Amino acid sequence: MTVSPFARALDTALDRSVVPGFSKIGYAVRRRLPTWPADPAIGALAGRHVAVTGATSGLGTATARQLSDLGAHVHLIVRNTDKAADIAAELRGASTTWKCDIGDLDSVRDCAARILADGPPLDGLVHNAGAMPPERAESPQGHELSMSIHVLGPVLLTELLRPAMKGRDARVVFVTSGGMYTQKLPVDDPDYTHGEYSGSTAYARSKRTQVELLPILTTRWARDGISVYAMHPGWAATPGVTDSLPAFDKVMGPVLRNVDTGADTTTWLIASQPRPRGGGLWMDRRERPTSFLPRTRPTSDERRRIWEWAAQAVDLTP
- Tens-digit pLDDT profile for the chain (318 aa)? 455 788 888 888 888 887 888 999 999 999 999 999 999 999 999 999 999 999 999 999 999 999 999 999 999 999 999 999 999 999 999 999 999 999 999 999 999 999 999 989 999 999 999 999 999 999 999 999 999 999 999 999 999 999 999 999 999 999 999 999 999 999 999 999 999 999 999 999 999 999 999 999 999 999 999 999 999 999 887 777 667 677 776 766 788 999 999 999 999 999 999 999 999 999 999 999 999 989 999 999 999 999 999 999 999 988
Residue 72 near residue 45 (C-beta atoms within 8 A): yes
At 128, which CATH number?
A: 3.40.50.720
32, 171: one domain: no
d(CA 57, CA 60): 6
- 11 and 65 inside one domain: no
Pairing assessment for the beta strands 124-127 and 227-231 based on DSSP bridges: unpaired
- Same domain assignment for residues 118 and 266: yes
Task: Say if residue 144 is in the same domain as residue 10.
Answer: no
Q: Is residue 318 part of a domain?
A: no
Measured between alpha carbons, how far is 310 from 266 in angstroms, rounded to an integer? 24
Query: Do 79 and 180 sit in the same domain of this protein?
Result: yes
**270 within some domain:** yes
Beta strands 124-127; 286-288: pairing state = unpaired
Strand order across the 49-53 sheet: 95-99, 73-78, 49-53, 124-127, 171-175, 227-231, 281-283, 286-288
Estimate to the nearest angstrom the gap between the alpha carbon of 105 and the chain centroid.
Answer: 18
Q: Is residue 282 part of a domain?
A: yes
Q: Which of 27, 181, 192, 203 is catalytic?
A: 203
3-state secondary structure 184-228: CCCCCCCCCCCCCCCHHHHHHHHHHHHHHCHHHHHHHHHCCCCEE
- Is residue 182 located within the same domain as residue 305? yes
How many structural domains compose the chain?
2
The C-alpha angle with vertex 64 and arms to 60 and 67, in degrees rounded to 5, equals 135
Could you tell me if 12 and 144 lie in one domain? no
Pairing outcome for strands 171-175 and 124-127: parallel
Asked if residue 168 and residue 27 are part of one domain, the reply reads no
Cα 192 to Cα 146: distance, rounded to the nearest angstrom: 10
What pLDDT was estimated at residue 15?
80
Residue type at 303 in one-letter notation: R
What residue spans of the chain are helical by DSSP H?
A: 3-17, 19-22, 24-31, 58-69, 81-90, 105-118, 145-147, 153-160, 162-165, 199-212, 214-222, 239-244, 246-252, 259-271, 300-313
Let me know whether 200 and 306 are in one domain.
yes
Per-residue pLDDT at 1: 42
CB-count burial class (<10 Å; 0-12, 13-18, 19+) for 66:
buried
pTM metric for this prediction: 0.94
225 plus 106 within the same structural domain: yes
What pLDDT sits at residue 253?
74
Q: Is 197 an active-site residue? A: no
- Residue span of the structural domain in which 120 resides: 43-313
- Angle subtended at Cα 174 by Cα 77 and Cα 243, rounded to the nearest 5 degrees: 70
Residue 33: predicted pLDDT: 93
pLDDT value of position 237:
78
Whether residue 25 is found in the same domain as residue 171: no
For residue 69, CA distances in Å to 42, 43, 97, 188 come to 8, 8, 17, 44
User: In this structure, are 29 and 47 located in the same domain?
Assistant: no
Question: Are 182 and 213 in contact, with CB atoms under 8 Å apart?
Answer: no
